[in-house]
Structure 1
Amino acid sequence: MSASLPPVSLPPVLRTARLALRPFSDADAVDLLGIFGDPEVVRYWSTGAWTGIAQAEAMIAEARQAYRDGGLYRYAIALRETDRLIGVCNLRGFFDQNRRCELGYALARDHWGQGYAGEALEALLGHAFHVLDLNRIEADIDPRNEASARLLEKLGFRREGTMPERWIVHGEKADTAFYGLLRRYWDERGTSERPSVRPPTLPLEP
């Protein structure tokens, strides 16, 4: 049975060397549309490219409500120097009894190949295991998305199986590759630096 984490007004801000994982602000809508409106970014996503700013505004509203409900921890990935949003990452599908959830992420194409996704997910996963006390985190990707597979494997995820033709997106059938990361796998890596954690300073409402 799906459950949730304790609700919060806003999740804490996670800071790394170059990034801040923070709650969304209204000003993020334009950059969100730029990310999810890019066909290359959503090539292996479960939905098509966005076509209007209302979709970005809906994602922000969903994230704010989910902070209150505890069913979704969605972060804006922002550059520390400018606070500009360059991606998103989230934990969702929580199961209390099993201390398990699912991971999702997307990064603006202009920032691919610079290590930002790995840096952000290192922070999020460390927080999930050591602060939220999760035991298992899952991810499912299109097996043709080799960059995403390399990223997950670098973070310690292990490929656990496939499900053929699970999605029909962009008019074509797509398989799913399942990955899992246990807390003990994460701790065995022994290479992660814990991000600095600070209370959020953004207002919940505009």
Structure 2
Amino acid sequence: MQAPTEHPRDDLPLLEGARVRLRGFREDDLGDFYAVHSDPVVNRYWSFPAWTDPSQARDYFASAIGGRDADRMLCWAIADLDNDRLIGATTLFAINRPQGRAEVGYALSASHWGRGLAQEALRLVLGHAFDALELRRIEADIDPRNAGSCRLIERMGFVREGLLRERWCVAGEVSDSAIYGLLATDWRAKNL
């Protein structure tokens, strides 16, 4: 049997924590990737509604792989360290190296919530962003009703910097955006 195909790129390092591995997407991740984003609980506060057709996962998956570029966007599969199975994804996007900034996004399978795995994955991504990419600022756009995600980001040291009213309309529902920012100086002070 042939090993699953991974899409390696020099600009997407393998990042490992105590319980999660951030790696490139593989073809055998597609089913798990669809399961994450087709769950209405996971996608409740996302910028698009829960997927209803596997082709949506294939299209997004292809875009995530094809768009990988350390100067624009880096997408990792969040995989369980024990079995290397995809349990979520995290992305650094809108990377602007000259300005030293980017945005971060993440989604984790609901069955893995409440165990600190998203925090571990974010810690790895932020470490890469501030150390390897030498960015000075990371932003997060969160629906303020998503209390769990707001708490997670705040635990990571992000500061809520503003509210953009009626920023998104997803599946006919209008929602606000809480804008959070984390500076490299704050990250380093907290993580020394």
TM-score where L is the length of structure 2: 0.92
The CA RMSD over aligned residues, in Å, is 1.3
Instruction: Please tell me whether the aligned partners of residues 9 and 67 of structure 1 are also in contact (alpha carbons under 8 angstroms).
Output: no
Deviations 1:141-191 (A, max 9, x none): 110110000000000000000011111113221011000000001011025
Query: Corresponding residue for 1:169?
Result: 170
Deviations 1:90-139 (A, max 9, x none): 10101222110000000000001011000000011001101110000000
Query: Corresponding residue for 1:79?
Result: 80
How many residues align? The count is 184
Query: Corresponding residue for 1:24?
Result: 25
Deviations 1:11-51 (A, max 9, x none): 11000011110000000000011000000111001111111
Structure 1 unaligned blocks of 5 or more: 1-7, 192-206
Structure 2 unaligned blocks of 5 or more: 1-8
Residue identity in the other structure for 1:160: E
Distance in 1, matches of 2:67 and 2:171, equals: 28
Q: How far 1:9 sits from its partner (Å)?
A: 4.5
- Higher RCO structure (Cα 8 Å, ≥6 apart): 1
Instruction: Please tell me whether the aligned partners of residues 26 and 57 of structure 1 are also in contact (alpha carbons under 8 angstroms).
Output: no
Query: Corresponding residue for 2:158?
Result: 157
Q: How far 1:10 sits from its partner (Å)?
A: 5.2
Which structure 2 residues correspond to residues 6-155 of structure 1 after superposition, within 5 A? Answer: 8-9=9-10, 11-67=12-68, 70-155=71-156
* CA 1:68–1:148: 2 relative to 1, 3 Å: closer
Distance in 2, matches of 1:123 and 1:48, equals: 27
Query: Corresponding residue for 1:188?
Result: 189
Instruction: Please tell me whether the aligned partners of residues 71 and 97 of structure 2 are also in contact (alpha carbons under 8 angstroms).
Output: no
Distance in 1, matches of 2:30 and 2:44, equals: 21
